[in-house]
Amino acid sequence: MKPILEVYQYSKRFDLHILNNKRINALNNVSFAVNPGEIVGLVGKSGSGKSTLMKSVYRTYLSTSGEIRYDSLRYGPLDLVQATDHQIIALRRDEITYCSQFLSVIPRVSAVDVVAANLFRRGLEREQARAQTRDYLYRLGLPEELWDAYPATFSGGEQQRINVARSIIARPRLLLIDEPTASLDQKTKDVVIDMITALKTGGTSVLCISHDPYTLERMTDRTIELKEGSIISNTLNLN
């Protein structure tokens, strides 16, 4: 099977010019592949390079060396390291979504509209997008009285559910998701895991950072472990 994502000899170094040109080697010569419909868990201690890797794929971080080959629906095989900013913008809209651990809230936009934005950006009619969003928020157990409120004042778990909902609602081809279940109770955790697994059935590939053994066990097909910026294991989960 042809991988949808292939990270090849990728390294990332941060050059901090304003701190006496201090250099931080965050990732060293990392290579791995993700197959279509595969859920890959990224594990490792804090500071091992998991988020750096994910942000490199999303092109929030620029590369120091190496390639990130992505098999795009729109552009065909493409090195995300070399892609133009406009190509990345189009891919982020149509194919690749990133769900960070923290919701960056936009003032005066309701929870429903924060989530629905990713649907009407793709051309879905506004009310239709809102209806679909309400269904997701209902399934994620977000109290109905919060749907039209502004997420800036929400609790951590509520914000996280908004964040998860907005990243999966548009059914991306590649989902990059950072700690999707970290501050959720068991029941909501299961809902999120079921939603992500359902995406996989629809062909979505997932790269997921997690510290939670339960989430990893239930969801992932393969686990990649990072230590000090290098991959130390890449194993299929046989369950």
Partner 1 sequence: MENITDNWLLKVEGLTKIYGEPNEKSVRKTGPLFGSNICPETDAIVACADINLDLFPGEVLGVVGESGSGKSTLVRLLYFDLERTAGAAYFNQYNNGVANILAESNQKKRYIRNHLMGMVYQNPKDGLNFRFSSGGNIAEKLIMAGNFNVGQIRERATNLLAQTEVPTQRLDDSPASFSGGMQQRVQISKAIANNPPLLFLDEVTTGLDVSVQAKVLDMIRTLQQELGIAMIVVSHDLSVIRMLTDRTLVMKNGRIVEQGLTDQILQDPQHPYTQLLVSSLL
Interface residues toward partner 1, by CB under 8 A: 14-18, 55, 59-62, 85-86, 88-90, 93, 104, 106-109, 117, 120-121, 123
As measured in angstroms, the least distance from the Cβ of 128 to partner 1 is 14
Nearer to partner 1 among residue 14 and residue 138 (C-beta): 14
Least distance from C-beta 74 to partner 1, angstroms?
10
- Least distance (Å) from partner 1 to the CB of residue 119? 11
Q: Rounded CA gap, 60 and 52, in Å?
A: 9
The distance of closest approach from Cβ of residue 26 to partner 1 in the complex, given in angstroms and rounded to an integer, is 10
Q: What does the chain come to in residues?
A: 239
| Cα–Cα distances in angstroms (integers) from residue 13 to residues 27, 31, 53, 61, 112, in the given order | 7, 16, 11, 10, 38
Nearer to partner 1, 72 or 181 (CB): 72
Residue 55: CB partners within 8 Å, gap ≥ 6? 61, 98
Nearest CB to partner 1, comparing residues 85 and 145: 85
Query: Residue 40 corresponds to which amino acid?
Result: V
**Residues near 139 by beta carbon (within 8 Å), at least 6 away in sequence:** 191, 195
Nearest C-alpha neighbor of 222 from the set 40, 53, 50, 43: 40
* Shortest CB 92 distance to partner 1, Å: 9
Tokens linked to 79: 């090195």
Nearer to partner 1, 80 or 193 (CB): 80
In angstroms, the CA 170 to CA 177 distance is: 14
Of 27, 38, 28, the closest CA to residue 5 belongs to 38
Rounded to a whole number of angstroms, the minimum distance from the CB of residue 236 to partner 1 is 32
Q: Which is nearer to partner 1, 116 or 192 (CB)?
A: 116
Cβ count within 10 A of residue 22: 10
Between 37 and 61, name the residue whose CB sits nearer to partner 1. Answer: 61
Three-state DSSP class for residue 208 = strand
